[in-house]
Amino acid sequence: MNADPSARSLPAAPVLAVDAMGGDHGPAEVVAGVALALAKGDLNARVLLVGDQPTLEKLLVENKLRGDPRVEIVHASQVIGMDEKPVAALKNKKDSSMVRAIELVKEGRAQGVLSLGNTGALMAGGTLKLRPMPGLERPALATIIPSRGHRFVLIDAGANPDAEPIHLLHNALLGSHYARCILKLPQPRVGLLSIGTEEGKGSEKVLAAHALLKDVNGLLNYTGPVEGFQLFRGEVDVVVCDGFTGNILLKALESCFDMLKSFLKDQLMANPVRQAGAWLSRGAYAAVKRELNPEALSGAPLLGLNRLVIKTHGSSTRAYVAGAVRVALATLEYDLTGAIRADLEKLAEAKKPEAPKVAAGA
């Protein structure tokens, strides 16, 4: 019988390889996080859990995932520790869960990899095995920063500490596409982090990057330099910087947020009157937590490689893992790498020198 020509075949489900053995809490939290992500029921996806098979089989039973066609175990006999030297670990532990997960992507069995493990090893392994896209020298880590009524992309969050101006231009392009994908912004506003917004302020590299960004403003919605106090005013959607600055900013924000939570809790519990006030204000505190909660958008992609690599905190709980899984799958469905590759080609074309004109009759 002939098939109905009007029927549309569904696209193949994206496949995500998950390094199940990485992270501070071990595979239990990773598998539980995958289960949470898949439990929402709206994911057209498959997950390859990479790690020790007997351990993962028990965890699948505990999380009611045994026999689920969306989940498959790929055995790996080794684990890269959080304190191991990246290059040595990649060389000496070729059957580690991280290396095997990356190789699954290289082999085409998966389209992306997610790990909570050793950041240096993941970045080195991803870069060596999956390679940067043509026209892009160094990948960059992107992360979502929550704010009041607004979220923005911070890039680079630590992959390339010593960035040249061209790398900052590439970071802007990478971050802009990530904001379109995850924040659903058609024309993200891009700002270059500096010490002032006036022309001539900033380091030599920042000034050179500013000139490059202005030159390709048709490809990006570049709004100019931004200072630190502008970040939480909703003025930009993508904040571009080198990995040294970005990593310091990210860790300072996380530390400040933890300090404020701890301080507020101590003060609210200081005496019975304040405890009663805290109970009466619990709805307001819940609203603040929802607004600033990073769980739903956890996970930092290493953008600029030929395939997707996502890193999330080693200390991530199952809720953070679930958020990272959903971000990874949303990124795969958007075809982020394909969109970035197309703009890199446009950028290269725009930078080509014009052919010399030949005079008529010559």
Three-state secondary structure call for residue 115: strand
Indicate whether 253 and 196 sit together in one domain.
Answer: yes
Three-state secondary structure call for residue 286: helix
pLDDT computed for residue 297 by the predictor: 67
C-alpha dihedral sign at 104, 105, 106, 107: positive
Indicate whether 276 and 330 sit together in one domain.
Answer: no
Residue 5 covered by a domain:
no
More confident residue, 199 or 58: 58
Which residues fall within 8 angstroms of residue 230, CB to CB, at 6 or more apart? 191, 236
pTM of the entire structure?
0.83
- 222: containing domain: 140-293
pLDDT computed for residue 237 by the predictor: 96
Among candidates 199, 153, 200, 190, which has minimal Cα distance to 294? 153
Q: In the predicted model, what is the mean pLDDT of the chain?
A: 87
**Tens of pLDDT along 177-195?**
999 999 999 999 999 999 9
Overall domain count for the chain? 2
Indicate whether 64 and 113 sit together in one domain.
Answer: yes
Indicate whether 146 and 108 sit together in one domain.
Answer: no
In the structure, what pLDDT confidence band is assigned to residue 2 with cuts at 50, 70 and 90?
very low
Q: What is the residue whose two structure tokens read 């699948």?
A: 60
Average pLDDT estimate for 6-19: 67
**Tens of pLDDT along 143-181?**
999 887 789 999 999 888 999 999 999 999 999 999 999
Indicate whether 106 and 153 sit together in one domain.
Answer: no
Among candidates 216, 130, 105, 103, which has minimal Cα distance to 169? 216
pLDDT higher than threshold 80 for residue 356: no
Indicate whether 334 and 208 sit together in one domain.
Answer: no
Residue 360 covered by a domain:
no
Given 229, 263, 293, which residue is the final one in a domain? Answer: 293
Angle at 296 between CA 294 and CA 299, to 5 degrees: 75
Residue 310 covered by a domain:
yes
Residue 60 covered by a domain:
yes
Percent of the chain with pLDDT over 70: 90
Q: Where are the alpha helices (DSSP H) in the chain?
A: 27-39, 53-62, 86-92, 97-106, 119-130, 165-182, 204-215, 243-268, 272-280, 282-292, 318-334, 336-350
pLDDT computed for residue 3 by the predictor: 40
Indicate whether 191 and 275 sit together in one domain.
Answer: yes
Indicate whether 311 and 329 sit together in one domain.
Answer: yes
Residue 170 covered by a domain:
yes
Residue 238 covered by a domain:
yes
Residue 146 covered by a domain:
yes
In the structure, what pLDDT confidence band is assigned to residue 279 with cuts at 50, 70 and 90?
confident
Task: Look at strands 150-155 and 238-240 and give their pairing.
Answer: parallel
pLDDT computed for residue 292 by the predictor: 66
In single-letter form, the type of residue at position 124 comes to A
For residues 221 and 240, the answer to whether their CB atoms sit within 8 Å is: no
DSSP label of 296: G
More confident residue, 279 or 168: 168
Indicate whether 220 and 126 sit together in one domain.
Answer: no
pLDDT higher than threshold 90 for residue 111: yes
For residues 207 and 124, the answer to whether their CB atoms sit within 8 Å is: no
C-alpha dihedral sign at 250, 313, 36, 102: positive
In single-letter form, the type of residue at position 32 comes to A
What phi, psi does 314 have (nearest 5°)?
Answer: -60, -30
**CATH code, 165:** 3.40.718.10
Which residues fall within 8 angstroms of residue 195, CB to CB, at 6 or more apart? 201, 202, 227
Cα(145)–Cα(247) distance, rounded to whole angstroms?
A: 12
Residue 349 covered by a domain:
no
Average pLDDT estimate for 31-59: 90
Cα(60)–Cα(37) distance, rounded to whole angstroms?
A: 14
- Quote the tokens at residue 277: 């006030």
pLDDT computed for residue 198 by the predictor: 85
In the structure, what pLDDT confidence band is assigned to residue 313 with cuts at 50, 70 and 90?
confident
Indicate whether 265 and 155 sit together in one domain.
Answer: yes
Cα(44)–Cα(42) distance, rounded to whole angstroms?
A: 7
Least confident of 55-64, 135-144, 164-173: 135-144
**Tens of pLDDT along 84-101?**
999 999 999 999 999 999
Question: How many of the other CB atoms lie within 10 Å of CB of 41?
Answer: 5
Indicate whether 161 and 258 sit together in one domain.
Answer: yes
Among candidates 35, 71, 38, which has minimal Cα distance to 53? 71
pLDDT computed for residue 217 by the predictor: 67
- Can you say how many angstroms the Cα of residue 35 is from the centroid of all Cα atoms in its chain? 20
Indicate whether 207 and 287 sit together in one domain.
Answer: yes
